[in-house]
Amino acid sequence: MSGMDAIIKEFLAESAENLDQMDQDLVVLEKDPANQEVFSRIFRAIHTIKGTCGFLAFGKLEAVTHSGENLLSHLRDGTLELSPKVTTMMLSMVDAVRKLLSAIEKTGGEGDGDYSELIADLERLDEEAGEKKKDDPKADDTSSTMRSSRIELVSEASEDAKETETLTDPKAASKKKSPSKRRKKKESQAIVDAPLEQSDGGGADAGDIDGDHDQEITAPTTSSLGESSLRVDVHVLDHLMNLVGELVLARNQILRLSEGIDDQQFEVASTRLHSVTTDLQEAVMRTRMQPISLLWKKLPRFVRDLSQQFGKKVDIQMEGQDTELDKAVIEAIQGSLLHLVRNSLDHGIETPEFRRKNGKPAIGILRLKAHHEGGNVLIEVSDDGGGIDNEAVLKRGLEAGLVSEAEAGSLDPKQIRALIFQPGFSTARRVTNVSGRGVGLDIVRNNIEAIGGSVEIHSEPGQSTSFRLKIPLTLAIIPVLLVAIRGQRFAIPQLSVVELVRFDDQSGGLGIEDLNGVPVYRLRGHLLPLLYLDEELGLTDSPKPAGGPVNIVVLQGDDRRFGLIVDRIEDSQEIVVKPLGRLIEALPYAGSTILGEGAVALILDVLRLGLKAGVVSEARTHQAAPDEEAAISGGGERRMLLYLMGPADERMAVDFSAVDRLEFIPASKIESVADLPVVQYRDEILQLVWVDQTLPERRIKVRKITDDPDLDSLQIVVCTVDGLRVGLIVYRILDIIDQSMTVTRPASREGIETCVVVEERVTEIIDLRSLIRLSDPGFFERGMKPSPGGG
Amino acid sequence: MSQYCTFWVGELYIGIEVSRVQEVLSHGAITPVPLAPAHIKGMINLRGHIVTAIDMGLRLHVGPVGSADGTMMHVVLKDDQGLVSLVVDRAGDVVEVDREMYEDPPDTLQGEARRLIRGAFKLEGRLLLDVDIDYAVAISE
């Protein structure tokens, strides 16, 4: 590559970034015309492009940017108001520049586009402003002079930068400039590929030869990240990463060798090598991460253009701009994200008139959110528009032949909504040039699924629509907990880890208990279902380490907690998530990683593990399928229930959140205080409630539990209600279930909150307060608090 | 004439076009993948890349590799989906073969073997099997 080519390439890359920034800045400036910082940045950007293309002899480009710059200088002098018209004009100027640049990139020339009309338009505005200037002496007042003097400095700096970039020998360019200053200026225009250190850049340079200058110049850009960074080719980073990988292996060999050598100096040196290598590895891995704002910053301009086109008013809100993703992932989702935004603006948000008529604010809100969750990045694109009209969707699905009449009747809301992801679907009443051509959402879904993610829609008709993208963190760095089971190490994303519990099973404590075949552990009064990691992974062949304490990793899987029993908890580390190798996608792993010493470790997918084992709600077989569907699509509340059987084989349930413990006590231990049954329980007197005897009689006459000769120990469910502890005497505990509350019937009798269908059985959910009152009307008033030591 | 990289899996002598092979390594640390199909031997770290290793012995139904003397080799292939390693008993030379030496398998070869073995080169003294490697690495049983 010749020197000139390199300069042009650099110019193109830099200008593209400047233009992106300008798009964003112009939209900001339109809302906040007094924002000097943003204004200076726009001015500087356009000036830089103009200056450089003049040098590179791109005449057309120079002409376009020149008229743009003129317009800007009138804005600066206050002779021109920044109206939407002017902003639009400036944006079309940016587009023209972009077009020219892409022509230069492809052909090396400026192409045959004709920009004279645009230039004429720009000049017309310019002349209007110029005339105004003559009439308006105010333009020369102090404030505007000050303002312009600052911008002069800025443009001077840009000139310098241009100069130093275009000359091969920086010293020849300007001997009096210190190298650090030259570097600084150049950097101030580069964009972040590799965020290094920030913030102290401006201050450190203030003491430079012409420090005052510098500070003035750099101050407006301190917030733009631009300054302490430089551009690096991604391939260089990839290469660097592989080299570091090799270095790690070499270091490991050295460390192994050092064990056999009794030389302290050598040991010190190899330890140092070890720590430096580790840090280096981490640092290099981080360089590939970029904040999602890199992608989002294009959106304000995009939204402005589209909302004008559709005659809509839209405000864009963003949350979680700093969420970091691997560069490759950002690139992969870019198109899909733009499509969803476009979709929201076109189909979601209604026109201002329509919104006002329906009692909504005229300005629609488009909200973008991003955050890390359980080894994934969740990106949400939501709007407060019309929502998805299921009937319209179904109708369109029928028209497009995506479903048959026969099928249509049996579709549930979730299945109907899934139709919009079908190829060939479009509900738009009219086909716009932006969206509604029947391609789009299906492609979005394909693209997201291709990188291992998923798309979900949530919609409330008339209120909102939100698309939730779940993107795997391929290559992202996440903190994990390393655990060992049967000699193999696994990583668990820290985000899923709630706490670690360790106890000695031999010490005579309660330890792991069996609840109808399900191992549980009592964690601060709540039952935690447990999974043995070795069993879940089918690792039972290799020998189990003998004895030792029990280690439980308490995990959060969706809305449910469960404990994972492992042999050993090693340590917590930050790791780089790598894709799983091929052929092993369907297993409960979220990815793989290379640990410090070069070994490969699998990252457990906590949710999938819980689903597989049935401790996380969606996979539970207890629920009738339609309930589950409704619950997932947001239709029903879910509750954890302790599922009980009565003496006449009837089904009842207690809200599990109130349950502290499950105990057995012999019937002989029950004493009577003022005609109320109580039992001495853990240094306190626990009042008891006979569930079956307390509930009002139903038509079926039930046997009383105490009549049953087989029962020498009673099953007690210890609950806390309004801070008071009470024991329910129940016939039998069947299970702990997660139940959707969609299919309910009103209570059949007093003491019952509601009825639901669980496993095709009508189940009464006990209303604890009312049940206790039935048994002992004064219970809550007396406030028989459990003694503090009773826990 | 084309060049084939050869290796042994049990008694089978197998060849792959040289252009498909990225490198041949001696066997190192391998991380097993619990719950994966049996022929997925595990994952290896190849200079920062995680590569799935396939036990070609199990894949070709001749018993796990390394059963003779415990030694194994990795033949690492590169395709548009990335890297994959074939774990074999021992690596052979690169041989030159001629289309004329090629013959389709006899009709008596049936079932999965028929899908895997596309044909054979009749070398002097032994047969070099032409295995459909794409099929072998794409199908997870």
* Region for A685 from its dihedrals, namely left if φ exceeds 0, alpha if ψ lies in -120 to 50, beta otherwise: beta
Task: Specify the CATH number for the domain of residue B95.
Answer: 2.40.50.180
Q: What is the mean pLDDT of residues B87-92?
A: 91
What was the pLDDT predicted at A705? Answer: 47
Which pLDDT tens digit goes with each residue over A100-116?
888 888 777 777 777 77
What was the pLDDT predicted at A506? Answer: 56
Q: For residue B33, what is the nearest residue in chain A, using CA coordinates?
A: A602
Q: Does the pLDDT value for residue A257 go beyond 90?
A: no
What is the arrangement of strands in the sheet containing A497-503, beginning at the earlier edge strand?
Answer: A497-503, A550-557, A560-566, A526-532, A518-523, A512-515
Q: Which of A414, A441, A472 is the last residue of a domain?
A: A472
Is residue A173 within 8 Å of residue A61, measured between CB atoms?
no
What was the pLDDT predicted at B87? Answer: 93
Q: Identify whether residues A464 and A595 lie together within a single domain.
A: no
What was the pLDDT predicted at A380? Answer: 92
Q: Which chain A residues contact residue B42 at CB under 8 A? A: 600
Q: Which chain A residues contact residue B40 at CB under 8 A? A: 583-584
Q: What is the mean pLDDT of residues A648-659?
A: 82
Contact of A401 with chain B, judged by CB distance below 8 Å, is answered with: no
Which of A485, A577, A602, A612 has the most B C-beta neighbours within 10 Å, making it the best mutation to test the interface with B?
A602
Q: Which helix (H) or strand (E) element contains residue A179?
A: helix A179-187
Which pLDDT tens digit goes with each residue over A335-385?
888 888 888 888 888 888 888 888 888 889 999 999 887 667 899 999 888
Q: Which chain B residues contact residue A576 at CB under 8 A? A: none
Q: What is the mean pLDDT of residues A164-182?
A: 42
State what percent of residues in chain B have pLDDT above 90: 23
What was the pLDDT predicted at A627? Answer: 34
Residue closest to A363 by CA, chosen among A381, A379, A350: A350
| Among the partner residues A539, A578, A579, nearest to B34 by beta-carbon distance | A539
For residue A570, the enclosing domain spans 491-619
Task: Test A583 with B43 for CB contact under 8 angstroms.
Answer: no
| Among the partner residues A581, A598, A601, nearest to B51 by beta-carbon distance | A581
Q: Does the pLDDT value for residue B75 go beyond 90?
A: yes
Look at the alpha carbons of A87, A89, A92, A97 in this order and tell me if their dihedral is positive or negative.
negative
Q: Which helix (H) or strand (E) element contains residue A629?
A: helix A625-632
Mean pLDDT, chain B, integer: 86
Q: For residue A601, what is the nearest residue in chain B, using CA coordinates?
A: B31
State what percent of residues in chain A have pLDDT above 70: 73
Q: Identify whether residues A279 and A295 lie together within a single domain.
A: no
Q: Does the pLDDT value for residue A8 go beyond 60?
A: yes
Q: How far apart are CA B34 and CA B50, in angstroms?
A: 16
Domain count, chain B: 1
Let me know how many helices (H) and strands (E) chain B has, helices first: 3, 11
Which of B22, B30, B44, B45 has the most A C-beta neighbours within 10 Å, making it the best mutation to test the interface with A?
B45
Q: What is the mean pLDDT of residues B53-72?
A: 85
Residue B110's pLDDT band (cuts 50, 70, 90): confident
Q: Is A535 helix (H, G, I), strand (E, B) or coil?
A: helix
Q: Identify whether residues A447 and A516 lie together within a single domain.
A: no
Q: How far apart are CA A602 and CA B4, in angstroms?
A: 34
Does residue A626 lie within any of the structural domains? no
Q: Identify whether residues A613 and A742 lie together within a single domain.
A: no
Domain count, chain A: 5
Task: Test B45 with A600 for CB contact under 8 angstroms.
Answer: yes
Task: Test B34 with A537 for CB contact under 8 angstroms.
Answer: yes
Which pLDDT tens digit goes with each residue over A418-434?
777 776 666 544 444 34
Whose tokens are 């018993």? That residue is B63
| Tokens at A366, concatenated | 């488009």
Does residue A224 lie within any of the structural domains? no
Q: Identify whether residues A730 and A713 lie together within a single domain.
A: yes
* C-alpha to C-alpha distances, A145 to A149, A152, A219, nearest whole angstrom: 6, 10, 19
Q: Identify whether residues A452 and A527 lie together within a single domain.
A: no
Q: Identify whether residues A570 and A698 lie together within a single domain.
A: no
| Tokens at A767, concatenated | 């209303």
Which pLDDT tens digit goes with each residue over A623-642?
233 333 333 333 346 677 88
What was the pLDDT predicted at A227? Answer: 53
What was the pLDDT predicted at A96? Answer: 85
Mean pLDDT, chain A, integer: 73
Amino acid code (one letter) for A392: A
Angle at A429 between CA A427 and CA A431, to 5 degrees: 90
Q: Which helix (H) or strand (E) element contains residue A155?
A: helix A142-166
Residue closest to A618 by CA, chosen among A606, A628, A605: A628
State what percent of residues in chain A have pLDDT above 90: 4
Task: Specify the CATH number for the domain of residue A29.
Answer: 1.20.120.160
Tell me which of A152 and A25 has the higher pLDDT. A25
Task: Test A583 with B36 for CB contact under 8 angstroms.
Answer: yes
| Tokens at A196, concatenated | 């290094």
Q: How far apart are CA A117 and CA B93, in angstroms?
A: 70
What was the pLDDT predicted at A153? Answer: 41
Residue closest to A782 by CA, chosen among A717, A730, A729, A725: A725
Q: Does the pLDDT value for residue A450 go beyond 80?
A: no
Q: Identify whether residues A378 and A275 lie together within a single domain.
A: no
Is residue B128 within 8 Å of residue B94, measured between CB atoms?
no
Look at the alpha carbons of A672, A673, A675, A681 in this order and tell me if their dihedral is positive or negative.
negative
A679 phi/psi in degrees, rounded to 5 = -145, 145
Q: Identify whether residues A391 and A525 lie together within a single domain.
A: no
Task: Test A594 with B50 for CB contact under 8 angstroms.
Answer: yes
| Among the partner residues B32, B43, B48, nearest to A581 by beta-carbon distance | B43
Beta carbons within 8 Å of A11's beta carbon, 6+ residues apart: A52, A53, A56
The burial class, CB within 10 Å (0-12 / 13-18 / 19+), for A673 is exposed
For residue B60, the enclosing domain spans 2-138
Task: Specify the CATH number for the domain of residue A244.
Answer: 1.10.287
Tell me which of A340 and A509 has the higher pLDDT. A340
Q: How far apart are CA A699 and CA B131, in angstroms?
A: 74
Helix ranges, A56-115 (H):
59-77, 84-107
Residue A132's pLDDT band (cuts 50, 70, 90): low
Q: What is the mean pLDDT of residues A694-702?
A: 61
Q: For residue B44, what is the nearest residue in chain A, using CA coordinates?
A: A600
Is residue A199 within 8 Å of residue A222, measured between CB atoms?
yes
Does residue A218 lie within any of the structural domains? no
Q: Which of A560, A593, A619 is the last residue of a domain?
A: A619
Is residue A74 within 8 Å of residue A126, measured between CB atoms?
yes
Task: Mean pLDDT check: name the lowest of A530-539, A549-558, B36-45.
Answer: A549-558
CA–CA min distance A86, chain B (Å):
49
CB pairs under 8 A between A and B: 75
B88 bridge partner residues: B73
Residue A742's pLDDT band (cuts 50, 70, 90): low
End-to-end alpha carbon distance in chain A: 76
Q: Which helix (H) or strand (E) element contains residue A310?
A: helix A299-310
Tell me which of A182 and A269 has the higher pLDDT. A269
Q: Which of A592, A619, A646 is the last residue of a domain?
A: A619
Q: What is the mean pLDDT of residues A37-56?
A: 79
Does residue A452 lie within any of the structural domains? yes
| Among the partner residues A488, A537, A600, nearest to B50 by beta-carbon distance | A600
Q: Identify whether residues A612 and A653 lie together within a single domain.
A: no
Amino acid code (one letter) for A576: V
Q: How far apart are CA A574 and CA A289, in angstroms?
A: 14
The predicted complex's ipTM stands at: 0.86
A604 phi/psi in degrees, rounded to 5 = -75, 135
Q: What is the mean pLDDT of residues A672-684?
A: 81
Q: How far apart are CA A155 and CA A40, in angstroms?
A: 9
Q: What is the mean pLDDT of residues A398-409?
A: 75
Q: Identify whether residues A255 and A297 lie together within a single domain.
A: no
* Pairing, β A761-766 against β A454-460: unpaired
